[in-house]
Homo-oligomer: A and B are copies of this chain.
Amino acid sequence: MAKFNFQVSKTSGKAPGTVVYLGEKEVRPPKITVLNYNPDKCEFEQITSVEELARFRDDPAVTWINIDGISHVETIEKIGEIFGLHPLLLEDIVDTNQRPKYEEFDNGIFLVLKMLTFNEKTQLVEAEHLSLVLGKNFVISFQEHEGDVFENIRYRIKETKWRIRKLGADYLAYALTDAVVDNYFAILERLGENIETVEEQIVKAADDNIQRRIYLLKRELIMLRKSVWPLREVINSMQKNESKMITKTTNLFLRDLYDHTIQTIDTIETMRDILTGMLDIYMSVVSNRMNSIMKVLTIIATIFIPLTFIAGVYGMNFDDMPELHQKWGYPAVLALMAAVTIGMLLFFRRKKWI
């Protein structure tokens, strides 16, 4: 995710449905892996030529085709051809700025999701564009890079004992979406830890840095919300889909997933509220510190300025200053200075400044 993700869609000025990749510069053919399974078998293959995918289109076993890399437009278009995907749909697959969406088409369901990872080095949340195409007996997943949150799903498919092996492509699509949402909780936990750290630091040492960190956390949450909010709609539509792609069993799980999405949104909003509260307390800590600096200055200045004046008076060189020539003159002035000091201190005490 670039700093702000406000890039212009480079498709502007192009005909609608033109497939243009907006992400990283380097273009290479994607890595394509296929998992073909039913309750009895489970085959894993790495595909080198796109054309090979055709045979999975009507294979009765469930097929999960995973595409790592969406920069090679020709490959994407060829896949689109094989599986009969509309150009507008292909446009969304490669448009990394596309927000999460749900769409039904003639023989399937199309989902856009955002796979988030927390970059420990930059302390920023990074989004990866993920598209899922659910057909009768296959799921195609398009990712920007290798590396994802699906390892556990692959593991479960390969073992025979898990539910996923026995259920259809719709359950696989659910499982992938569920893994994405589950991962949001991990992100939120990391942000939550950062929020706690900041909270502890505010009271100890409210330096300029803290405000900056609050601001960055807030911005992360704004970005996160942009990814998660539309998801609610997506999963809601998926549940109520009319294309009969989703079986009743899977639907039950979708209800649960919807619940998790709401919980994520809830947590994001709560975190925002708490960060706003922190900003208030930070501002107040700073202004209180200022206050205490001012107090010290005022106390020192208001005590010594009058004393210095008194000393100044008796430093004058007039010929005729009778006090200067009295024995008691010097002690009397010292006494006067002491009296002024004590008076000031009492005044400050009454004002509760010391």
Contact = CB atoms under 8 A, between A and B. Distances in A.
Nearest to A271: B6
Given A256-B16, A314-B318, A329-B320, A4 B294 contact: no
Select the residue from A13, A226, A257, A267 with max chain B CB neighbours within 10 A: A13
Contact of A300 (B6, B305, B321, B353): B305
A45 B189 CA distance: 41
Contacts of A280: 211, 215, 279
A314 B11 CA distance: 78
B290 A316 contact: no
Question: How many subunits of this chain does the assembly comprise?
Answer: 5
B274 A185 contact: no
Interface in A292-318: 292-298, 300-302, 304-309, 311-318
A101 interface: yes
Contacts of A298: 293-294, 296-297
Given A8-B186, A9-B185, A16-B256, A318 B330 contact: yes
A1 interface: no
Given A9-B185, A208-B285, A321-B330, A308 B312 contact: yes
A234 to B, nearest CB: 12
A182 B305 CA distance: 63
Interface of A is mostly: helix
A277 to B, nearest CB: 5
Contacts of A48: none
Interface stretch (A32-40, A66-74, A138-146, A190-198): A190-198
Interface of A: 3-4, 6-9, 11-17, 86, 88, 91, 97-99, 101, 103, 149, 151-152, 156, 162-164, 174-175, 178-179, 182-183, 185-186, 188-189, 191-193, 195-196, 203, 205, 208, 211-212, 215, 218-219, 222-223, 226, 252-253, 255-257, 259-260, 262-263, 266-267, 270-271, 273-274, 277-298, 300-302, 304-309, 311-321, 323-327, 329-330, 333, 351-353
21 contacts: A7-B192, A8-B189, A14-B152, A15-B156, A16-B178, A88-B252, A99-B263, A101-B259, A212-B281, A215-B280, A218-B277, A222-B270, A286-B287, A286-B291, A292-B351, A294-B297, A296-B351, A304-B309, A312-B312, A315-B315, A318-B324
